[in-house]
Protein backbone atom coordinates (compact mmCIF):
# COMPACT_ATOMS: atom_id res chain seq x y z
CA UNK A 1 0.00 0.00 0.00
CA UNK A 2 1.34 3.39 -0.95
CA UNK A 3 1.55 6.11 1.67
CA UNK A 4 1.19 8.98 -0.78
CA UNK A 5 -2.28 10.47 -0.92
CA UNK A 6 -3.95 12.92 -3.29
CA UNK A 7 -6.16 15.79 -2.19
CA UNK A 8 -9.22 16.98 -4.07
CA UNK A 9 -10.81 20.27 -3.01
CA UNK A 10 -14.27 21.59 -3.66
CA UNK A 11 -13.70 24.40 -6.21
CA UNK A 12 -16.13 26.84 -4.57
CA UNK A 13 -14.85 26.14 -1.05
CA UNK A 14 -11.26 24.79 -0.93
CA UNK A 15 -11.47 24.22 2.84
CA UNK A 16 -13.59 21.19 1.94
CA UNK A 17 -11.02 18.61 0.84
CA UNK A 18 -11.10 14.83 0.53
CA UNK A 19 -8.11 12.49 0.11
CA UNK A 20 -7.55 9.52 -2.14
CA UNK A 21 -5.09 6.93 -0.81
CA UNK A 22 -3.98 4.46 -3.51
CA UNK A 23 -3.93 0.74 -2.73
CA UNK A 24 -5.95 -2.47 -3.05
CA UNK A 25 -8.94 -2.25 -0.74
CA UNK A 26 -12.04 -4.30 -0.12
CA UNK A 27 -15.45 -3.20 1.10
CA UNK A 28 -18.11 -5.75 2.04
CA UNK A 29 -19.19 -6.05 -1.60
CA UNK A 30 -16.51 -4.58 -3.88
CA UNK A 31 -12.81 -3.91 -4.40
CA UNK A 32 -11.30 -0.49 -5.09
CA UNK A 33 -7.96 1.00 -6.17
CA UNK A 34 -8.18 3.92 -3.73
CA UNK A 35 -9.50 4.64 -0.29
CA UNK A 36 -11.67 7.75 -0.46
CA UNK A 37 -11.01 9.45 2.85
CA UNK A 38 -13.88 11.76 3.83
CA UNK A 39 -13.23 11.44 7.57
CA UNK A 40 -12.07 15.06 8.03
CA UNK A 41 -15.36 16.28 6.60
CA UNK A 42 -17.27 14.17 9.13
CA UNK A 43 -15.17 14.73 12.26
CA UNK A 44 -13.45 18.13 12.06
CA UNK A 45 -16.24 20.35 13.36
CA UNK A 46 -15.05 23.48 11.54
CA UNK A 47 -15.02 21.64 8.22
CA UNK A 48 -18.26 19.77 8.99
CA UNK A 49 -19.95 23.13 9.49
CA UNK A 50 -18.75 24.34 6.07
CA UNK A 51 -19.92 21.06 4.55
CA UNK A 52 -23.35 21.51 6.16
CA UNK A 53 -23.63 25.01 4.69
CA UNK A 54 -22.96 23.64 1.20
CA UNK A 55 -25.37 20.72 1.66
CA UNK A 56 -28.13 23.05 2.92
CA UNK A 57 -28.16 25.26 -0.19
CA UNK A 58 -30.55 23.22 -2.41
CA UNK A 59 -33.07 22.83 0.44
CA UNK A 60 -32.97 26.19 2.27
CA UNK A 61 -35.85 27.96 0.55
CA UNK A 62 -37.75 25.00 -0.90
CA UNK A 63 -37.82 21.88 1.25
CA UNK A 64 -39.59 21.23 4.54
CA UNK A 65 -37.51 18.97 6.76
CA UNK A 66 -38.62 17.33 10.01
CA UNK A 67 -35.94 14.70 10.36
CA UNK A 68 -32.42 14.14 9.07
CA UNK A 69 -31.47 10.47 8.83
CA UNK A 70 -27.70 9.98 8.95
CA UNK A 71 -25.89 7.00 7.46
CA UNK A 72 -22.17 6.23 7.72
CA UNK A 73 -21.32 8.46 10.68
CA UNK A 74 -22.76 11.67 9.24
CA UNK A 75 -24.25 12.84 12.57
CA UNK A 76 -21.89 15.80 13.14
CA UNK A 77 -22.66 17.17 9.67
CA UNK A 78 -26.34 16.32 10.28
CA UNK A 79 -26.46 18.46 13.42
CA UNK A 80 -24.88 21.45 11.65
CA UNK A 81 -27.20 20.90 8.69
CA UNK A 82 -30.22 21.07 11.00
CA UNK A 83 -28.85 24.35 12.39
CA UNK A 84 -28.43 25.74 8.86
CA UNK A 85 -31.94 24.73 7.82
CA UNK A 86 -33.71 26.37 10.78
CA UNK A 87 -31.72 29.64 10.65
CA UNK A 88 -33.51 33.00 10.56
CA UNK A 89 -34.15 34.25 7.05
CA UNK A 90 -37.02 35.56 4.98
CA UNK A 91 -36.51 32.90 2.30
CA UNK A 92 -35.69 30.08 4.72
CA UNK A 93 -38.62 27.68 4.77
CA UNK A 94 -37.72 25.84 8.02
CA UNK A 95 -36.97 28.93 10.13
CA UNK A 96 -37.69 28.17 13.79
CA UNK A 97 -38.71 24.55 13.12
CA UNK A 98 -37.44 21.65 15.18
CA UNK A 99 -35.41 19.11 13.23
CA UNK A 100 -34.40 15.75 14.69
CA UNK A 101 -31.16 14.02 13.66
CA UNK A 102 -31.31 10.23 13.95
CA UNK A 103 -29.57 7.10 12.61
CA UNK A 104 -30.96 3.61 12.02
CA UNK A 105 -29.54 0.49 13.61
CA UNK A 106 -28.59 -2.68 11.78
CA UNK A 107 -30.46 -5.72 13.12
CA UNK A 108 -29.24 -9.33 13.34
CA UNK A 109 -30.31 -9.91 9.72
CA UNK A 110 -28.42 -6.86 8.44
CA UNK A 111 -31.62 -4.86 7.89
CA UNK A 112 -31.82 -1.21 8.92
CA UNK A 113 -34.33 -0.61 11.69
CA UNK A 114 -35.44 2.15 14.04
CA UNK A 115 -36.36 1.46 17.66
CA UNK A 116 -40.09 1.88 18.34
CA UNK A 117 -39.36 4.92 20.48
CA UNK A 118 -38.10 6.94 17.48
CA UNK A 119 -40.34 5.72 14.62
CA UNK A 120 -42.58 8.74 15.26
CA UNK A 121 -39.73 10.91 13.89
CA UNK A 122 -40.05 9.08 10.53
CA UNK A 123 -43.72 8.16 10.05
CA UNK A 124 -45.46 10.85 7.99
CA UNK A 125 -42.43 13.16 8.34
CA UNK A 126 -40.30 14.94 5.74
CA UNK A 127 -37.02 13.07 5.88
CA UNK A 128 -33.72 14.26 4.48
CA UNK A 129 -31.24 11.42 3.97
CA UNK A 130 -27.58 12.14 4.58
CA UNK A 131 -25.02 9.60 3.42
CA UNK A 132 -21.22 9.75 3.20
CA UNK A 133 -20.31 8.00 -0.03
CA UNK A 134 -22.56 6.46 -2.67
CA UNK A 135 -20.43 4.06 -4.72
CA UNK A 136 -22.62 1.05 -5.50
CA UNK A 137 -25.96 2.40 -4.29
CA UNK A 138 -26.39 -0.52 -1.90
CA UNK A 139 -26.32 1.47 1.37
CA UNK A 140 -28.46 4.18 -0.20
CA UNK A 141 -31.09 1.68 -1.37
CA UNK A 142 -31.19 0.08 2.08
CA UNK A 143 -31.69 3.47 3.71
CA UNK A 144 -34.43 4.48 1.24
CA UNK A 145 -36.26 1.19 1.84
CA UNK A 146 -35.97 1.69 5.58
CA UNK A 147 -37.41 5.23 5.44
CA UNK A 148 -40.27 4.05 3.20
CA UNK A 149 -40.95 1.07 5.49
CA UNK A 150 -41.46 3.39 8.47
CA UNK A 151 -43.72 5.70 6.44
CA UNK A 152 -41.31 8.57 5.96
CA UNK A 153 -41.58 11.02 3.04
CA UNK A 154 -38.18 11.32 1.38
CA UNK A 155 -37.55 15.08 1.08
CA UNK A 156 -34.03 14.85 -0.32
CA UNK A 157 -30.79 12.91 -0.52
CA UNK A 158 -27.36 14.45 0.01
CA UNK A 159 -23.95 12.80 -0.11
CA UNK A 160 -20.31 13.76 0.18
CA UNK A 161 -19.52 11.59 -2.86
CA UNK A 162 -21.62 10.10 -5.64
CA UNK A 163 -20.38 7.69 -8.31
CA UNK A 164 -21.89 8.82 -11.60
CA UNK A 165 -23.08 5.31 -12.57
CA UNK A 166 -25.45 5.10 -9.58
CA UNK A 167 -29.10 5.75 -10.35
CA UNK A 168 -31.91 5.27 -7.83
CA UNK A 169 -34.79 7.15 -9.42
CA UNK A 170 -34.43 10.05 -7.01
CA UNK A 171 -32.38 13.22 -7.20
CA UNK A 172 -29.14 13.15 -5.22
CA UNK A 173 -27.18 16.27 -4.22
CA UNK A 174 -23.48 15.35 -3.94
CA UNK A 175 -20.52 17.56 -3.01
CA UNK A 176 -18.08 15.49 -5.06
CA UNK A 177 -18.71 13.08 -7.92
CA UNK A 178 -16.60 10.52 -9.77
CA UNK A 179 -15.91 13.23 -12.39
CA UNK A 180 -13.84 15.02 -9.71
CA UNK A 181 -11.62 11.96 -9.23
CA UNK A 182 -11.27 10.03 -12.51
CA UNK A 183 -8.63 7.59 -11.16
CA UNK A 184 -10.91 6.27 -8.41
CA UNK A 185 -12.54 3.00 -9.46
CA UNK A 186 -14.72 0.43 -7.70
CA UNK A 187 -15.00 -3.12 -9.06
CA UNK A 188 -17.25 -6.08 -8.30
CA UNK A 189 -14.92 -8.43 -6.39
CA UNK A 190 -14.97 -11.03 -9.21
CA UNK A 191 -13.86 -8.42 -11.77
CA UNK A 192 -11.03 -6.80 -9.79
CA UNK A 193 -7.94 -6.40 -12.03
CA UNK A 194 -5.64 -6.15 -8.99
CA UNK A 195 -6.85 -9.56 -7.76
CA UNK A 196 -6.45 -11.02 -11.26
CA UNK A 197 -2.85 -9.81 -11.40
CA UNK A 198 -2.13 -11.40 -8.00
CA UNK A 199 -1.85 -8.16 -6.02
CA UNK A 200 -2.53 -8.78 -2.33
CA UNK A 201 -5.24 -6.85 -0.50
CA UNK A 202 -3.94 -3.95 1.59
CA UNK A 203 -6.88 -3.10 3.82
CA UNK A 204 -10.56 -3.53 4.64
CA UNK A 205 -12.85 -0.50 4.39
CA UNK A 206 -15.70 0.09 6.84
CA UNK A 207 -17.79 3.15 7.61
CA UNK A 208 -15.24 3.97 10.35
CA UNK A 209 -12.19 3.98 8.07
CA UNK A 210 -9.80 1.32 6.82
CA UNK A 211 -7.94 -1.42 8.66
CA UNK A 212 -4.69 -2.81 7.24
CA UNK A 213 -4.40 -6.51 6.55
CA UNK A 214 -1.06 -7.65 8.00
Which of residues 93 and 195 has its CB atom nearest to Zn ion in the complex? Answer: 195
Q: Is 195 in the site for Zn ion (CB under 5 A)?
A: yes
CB 199, min distance to Zn ion, A: 7
Question: How many angstroms separate the CA atoms of 42 and 20, rounded?
Answer: 16
CB 11, min distance to Zn ion, A: 32
Q: Is 186 in the site for Zn ion (CB under 5 A)?
A: no
Specify the stretch interacting with Zn ion by CB under 5 A; choose among 5-13, 29-37, 108-116, 140-148: 29-37
CA distances from 201 to 114, 122, 194 (A): 35, 40, 9
The dihedral built from the CA positions of residue 151, 80, 82 and 128, taken in this order, carries a sign that is: negative
Rg for the chain, CA atoms, rounded: 18
Q: Is 30 in the site for Zn ion (CB under 5 A)?
A: no
Question: How many angstroms separate the CA atoms of 84 and 167, rounded?
Answer: 28
Number of residues forming the site for Zn ion (CB under 5 A)? 4
Q: Is 73 in the site for Zn ion (CB under 5 A)?
A: no
Q: Is 194 in the site for Zn ion (CB under 5 A)?
A: yes
CB 23, min distance to Zn ion, A: 10
Q: Is 192 in the site for Zn ion (CB under 5 A)?
A: yes
- Residues with Cβ < 8 Å from 43, sequence gap 6 or more? 76
Which of residues 23 and 156 has its CB atom nearest to Zn ion in the complex? Answer: 23
Smallest Cα–Cα separation from 41: which of 55, 31, 27?
A: 55
CB 25, min distance to Zn ion, A: 8
Which of residues 40 and 195 has its CB atom nearest to Zn ion in the complex? Answer: 195
Which of residues 81 and 192 has its CB atom nearest to Zn ion in the complex? Answer: 192
Contact yes or no for 71/129 (Cβ under 8 A): yes
Amino acid sequence: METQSFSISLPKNPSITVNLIPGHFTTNNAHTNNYLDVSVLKSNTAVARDVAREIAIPYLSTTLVDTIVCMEKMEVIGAYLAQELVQEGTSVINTGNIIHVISPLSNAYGNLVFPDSVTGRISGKNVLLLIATISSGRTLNGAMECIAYYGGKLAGISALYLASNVSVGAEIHPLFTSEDMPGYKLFPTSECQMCKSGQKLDAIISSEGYTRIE
